[in-house]
Amino acid sequence: MSSQVATRDAPFQLRGANFTMMVLKVGDPRNPNFFPVLAGKIAQAPNFFRNAPVVLDLDDIPAGVPFDFENFCGLLHNLGLIAVGLQGGTKELQDAALAAGLAALPAAKGRAEGFDPLAGTGRSPAQGVHNMQPQSAPEPAAASPAAPPAVAAEPLPYQRSTLIVTEPVRSGRQVYAAGGDLVVVAPVSPGAELLADGSIHVYGTLRGRALAGVSGDRSARIFCQSLEAELVSIAGLYRVSEDMDKSIRRRQVQIFLDNGFLHIDPVAA
C-alpha cells in the first residue's frame, strides 16, 4: 500500500490551528477570596465564560508555595472554566501541573499587562487579554547635510493582503486572515470566530467572535452591518456582548481604538 493511500485511510488527521484562550494569572491559589471573587466576575458575563478554556499563568507564584492542581482545576470547572494548559512558573510547579494533565504552553508574544477583563464598559484601556506593545522603529542613520531628515514610519509586522470569504461562517468554524484584512460577504453564526492581523469587514450580521489586529496592529478596525457579536477585540483590547450598550446592538457599527480606549460607534446611514 502506498504512503498516500495509507494517509488517506488513516482514522485521524493532525492539523495546526489557532485558538483564542484566556490567561488566568494566578497570584495566590490559597487565598480564600480567590474563587468567590472569580465567581463574581463570571456572573457578570456568564455566556462568555461558559465552558471557556483557560491557560494558567504561574509566574507570580513564589517558589515553594504548594499548589494542588487537581483540586484547583476542579474548582475552576465548577465555575464553568476548563483549565487546559500552563505557562511560566517554577520547575516544581510545571512538573506538578503536567502530572495533573495540563499542557505546557509558551508565553504569549509581547508584554502582558495586568487587567480586569470586565471592568467598566470596555472604554477602559485596562480591558484586554494581552496588550501587545509593538517595537518602536529603529532610529534612521544620520543623513548627509544636503539630504532632508529621514522619517521613520511605524512598520507593520506583516505585508497587508486581503482574504475574502463569500460563504456563511458557521458555528465552530474559525477563519484567520494571516498578514492582512478579512472581508466576509455573508452572515457569521454564533460560535464562529473571525481573526485578522489587519481589519475585519462583515457585510452581514456579525455574531460569534471577531478579533482584529491580533498581531498588535492598533490601527485595525472592525466594520459590520449588524452587531450581534459575543466578543469583539482590537489588538487584544476587547468587549463582550454583556458589556455592549443596547443602543448599538443590531446596528451598523465600526469598532476601533483611540488613545487606548475601545470604541463601538454607529455608522451614519
Residue 129: inside a domain: no
Q: What is the pLDDT at residue 201?
A: 96
Q: Does 177 lie in the same domain as 85?
A: no
Residue where one domain finishes, among candidates 104, 132, 150: 104
Residue 34: inside a domain: yes
Nearest of 64, 5, 6 to residue 30 by alpha carbon? 64
Residue 54: inside a domain: yes
Per-residue pLDDT of the chain (269 residues; tens, 9 = 90+): 455 555 567 788 777 666 767 888 898 888 899 999 888 888 777 767 788 899 999 998 888 888 899 999 999 999 999 999 999 989 999 999 999 999 988 765 544 433 344 433 333 333 333 332 333 333 333 343 444 444 444 555 555 689 999 999 998 898 999 889 999 999 999 989 999 999 999 999 999 999 999 888 999 999 999 999 998 999 888 888 888 888 999 999 999 999 888 999 998 76
* Total Cβ atoms within 10 A of residue 172: 11
Q: What is the pLDDT at residue 6?
A: 53
Residue 225: inside a domain: yes
Residue 128: inside a domain: no
Which string of b and e fits 60-74 if b means at least 16 CB within 10 Å?
Answer: ebeeeeebebeebbe
Residue 118: inside a domain: no
Q: Which residues contact 84 (CB under 8 A, 6 or more apart)?
A: 21, 53, 54, 55, 102, 103
Q: Does 179 lie in the same domain as 95?
A: no
The structural domain count of the chain equals 2
Q: What is the pLDDT at residue 139?
A: 38
Q: Does 172 lie in the same domain as 256?
A: yes
Residue 185 sits in a domain whose CATH number is 2.160.20.70
**Structural domain range at position 98:** 22-104
The answer to whether 184 and 194 have CB atoms below 8 angstroms apart is yes
Residue 75: inside a domain: yes
d(CA 205, CA 104): 37
Residue 51 sits in a domain whose CATH number is 3.30.70.260
The answer to whether 224 and 263 have CB atoms below 8 angstroms apart is no
Q: Does 253 lie in the same domain as 169?
A: yes
